[in-house]
């Protein structure tokens, strides 16, 4: 096939065959020869060599570079055998921009150029297309998980909302850089939150980290300390909206730069279209509240406001239960300890994992 066609073929697999912006991303990430190999995938190295006419060692070298770039994903991370092109836009976005620790692939200037290409596509094409779809969704795919320190003393915490359980049950754990945050920072607009190495990976995703060489492997103790730091920084944990304690990724997000939260706020898409609330809600004891407003500055969802309360001399913080997502980060900065988390939804609020129907 002509070399000029391979990028269009790959873009079409993600529904972007007409997008010049997406084509530029693919052209930046892959040489024409690499893109031609990606079109043939999934295949073994030997099959790729036979189909492409390239020497086997050349194929291996090209697959290795594509793996390091976060463009292809082998079935076997150690041997790089049976690679495939990214399944969808989100996978390519997250992996190709998460470059912390990888040397020799891009220069610093090239990284900035790549992040700028992604930002241009994301803001001008992906967001206008996806926001109406998310707004129309009937079931949130993700769920807010409360900051552990905000709920640790409350009886009735479920395993699927307990960070300690999630970490304990993980085999491998790693942390990689947040693609959303790094992309925004590349444009000279730093996030208001300090952590950009905060996407925690578990199990097979952590194995990918180990073999690709990006990010950092963590012990369980290191993971728990990092989670505490992330919560102290005011980031909001999100998890698949199903009753599981094991998943590939624990996202810790903010409305400053998150690929979902940022445009949802700008397009007035309800948070609950994509993120189910946790079972918890912040509640304020007005007698203890000193009106300091620290909690208001922390709230990502505009659920807190300073109001005049009858019978009180000082202004007090009120909680809008409709807006509160139950993330708990406000509780962590409340020095008077007037803000507390309370369980307001039953265990059934978290959907059960559906078992697959037996094959017939």
- Reported for 225-230, long-range contacts at CB under 8 A and 24+ positions apart, including other chains, are 226/175, 226/198, 226/200, 227/148, 227/163, 227/167, 227/200, 228/148, 228/149, 229/195, 230/195, 230/198
Higher pLDDT, 310 or 231: 231
H helix intervals, 220-260: 220-232
pLDDT of 355 higher than 80 = no
pLDDT of 18 higher than 80 = yes
pLDDT of 180 higher than 90 = no
pTM over 0.75, yes/no: yes
CA dihedral for 85, 90, 93, 96, sign (positive or negative)? negative
pLDDT of 311 higher than 80 = no
Structure tokens at 35: 């893109």
What pLDDT sits at residue 198?
84
Instruction: Please provide the distance, in angstroms rounded to a whole number, between the alpha carbons at the two ends of the chain.
Output: 41
- Reported for 254-258, long-range contacts at CB under 8 A and 24+ positions apart, including other chains, are 254/191, 254/192, 254/193, 254/300, 255/300, 255/301, 256/184, 256/191, 256/192, 256/193, 257/178, 257/180, 257/181, 257/183, 257/184, 257/191, 258/180
pLDDT of 53 higher than 50 = yes
CATH class of the domain defined by 1-86 = mainly alpha
pLDDT of 357 higher than 80 = no
Question: Over pLDDT 70: what percentage of the chain?
Answer: 96
pLDDT of 360 higher than 50 = no
Report domain extents, the chain. 1-86, 132-276, 280-346
The HSE-up count of residue 215 (CA atoms within 13 Å, CB side) is: 31
What pLDDT sits at residue 63?
98
pLDDT of 1 higher than 50 = no
Which of the residue ranges 124-133, 164-173, 177-186 would you say has the lowest mean pLDDT?
177-186
Residue 194: which pLDDT band, with cuts at 50, 70 and 90?
A: low
pLDDT digits (tens, 9 = 90+) for 136-163: 999 999 999 999 999 999 999 999 999 9
Contact 198, 258 (CB under 8 A): no
What pLDDT sits at residue 314?
84
pLDDT digits (tens, 9 = 90+) for 59-96: 999 999 999 999 999 999 999 999 999 999 999 999 99
Range of 106-115, 186-195, 303-312, 321-330 with top mean pLDDT: 321-330
Looking up tokens 């949802």, which residue turns up?
Answer: 264
Contact 66, 38 (CB under 8 A): yes
Residue 303: exposure state from Cβ atoms within 10 A (0-12, 13-18, ≥19)? buried
What pLDDT sits at residue 356?
47
Residue 197: which pLDDT band, with cuts at 50, 70 and 90?
A: confident
pLDDT of 358 higher than 80 = no
CA dihedral for 163, 166, 170, 176, sign (positive or negative)? negative
H helix intervals, the chain: 3-13, 20-29, 32-40, 45-52, 56-69, 89-97, 108-121, 127-135, 148-151, 163-169, 179-186, 204-212, 220-232, 261-266, 294-298
Phi then psi for 144, rounded to 5 degrees?
-75, 135
CATH class of the domain defined by 280-346 = alpha beta
Residue 196: which pLDDT band, with cuts at 50, 70 and 90?
A: low
What count of residues does the chain have?
A: 360
pLDDT of 302 higher than 50 = yes
Looking up tokens 């959907």, which residue turns up?
Answer: 351
pLDDT digits (tens, 9 = 90+) for 201-252: 999 999 999 999 999 999 999 999 999 999 999 999 999 999 999 999 999 9
d(CA 66, CA 86): 11
Q: Which residues have C-beta within 8 Å of that of residue 105, sequence separation ≥ 6?
A: 65, 68, 69, 99
User: What is the rounded average pLDDT of the residues 329-339?
Assistant: 96
pLDDT of 347 higher than 80 = yes
User: What is the rounded average pLDDT of the residues 299-306?
Assistant: 95
Which of 271, 269, 261 shows the shortest CA–CA distance to 180? 261
pLDDT of 352 higher than 60 = yes
What pLDDT sits at residue 10?
97
Residue 257: which pLDDT band, with cuts at 50, 70 and 90?
A: confident
């Amino acid at each position: 096939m002509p070399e000029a066609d391979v990028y269009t073929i790959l873009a079409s697999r993600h529904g972007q065959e007409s997008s010049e912006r997406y084509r530029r991303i693919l052209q930046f990430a892959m040489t024409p020869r690499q893109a031609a190999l990606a079109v043939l995938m999934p295949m073994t190295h030997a099959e790729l060599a036979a189909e492409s006419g390239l020497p086997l060692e050349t194929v291996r070298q090209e697959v290795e570079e594509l793996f390091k770039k976060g463009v292809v994903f082998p079935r076997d991370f150690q041997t790089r055998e049976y690679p495939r092109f990214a399944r969808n836009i989100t996978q390519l976005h997250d992996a190709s921009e998460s470059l912390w620790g990888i040397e020799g692939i891009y220069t610093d200037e090239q990284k900035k150029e790549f992040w700028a290409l992604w930002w241009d596509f994301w803001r001008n094409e992906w967001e206008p297309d996806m926001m109406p779809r998310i707004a129309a969704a009937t079931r949130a795919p993700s769920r807010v998980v409360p900051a552990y320190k905000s709920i640790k003393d409350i009886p009735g915490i479920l395993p699927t909302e307990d960070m300690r359980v999630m970490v304990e049950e993980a085999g491998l754990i790693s942390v990689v850089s947040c693609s959303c945050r790094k992309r925004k920072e590349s444009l000279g607009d730093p996030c208001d939150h300090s952590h950009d190495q905060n996407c925690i990976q578990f199990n097979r995703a952590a194995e990918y980290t180990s073999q690709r060489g990006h990010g950092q492997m963590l012990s369980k103790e290191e993971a728990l300390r990092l989670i505490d730091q992330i919560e102290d920084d005011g980031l909001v944990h999100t998890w698949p909206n199903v009753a599981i304690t094991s998943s590939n990724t624990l996202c810790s997000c903010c409305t400053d730069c998150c690929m979902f939260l940022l445009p949802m706020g700008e397009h007035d898409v309800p948070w609950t279209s994509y993120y189910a609330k946790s079972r918890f809600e912040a509640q304020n004891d007005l007698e203890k509240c000193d009106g300091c407003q620290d909690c208001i500055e922390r709230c990502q969802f505009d659920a807190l406001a300073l109001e005049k309360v009858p019978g009180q001399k000082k202004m007090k913080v009120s909680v809008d239960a409709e807006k509160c997502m139950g993330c708990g980060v406000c509780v962590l900065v409340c020095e008077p300890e007037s803000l507390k988390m309370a369980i307001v939804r039953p265990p059934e609020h978290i959907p059960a994992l559906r078992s697959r129907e037996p094959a017939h």
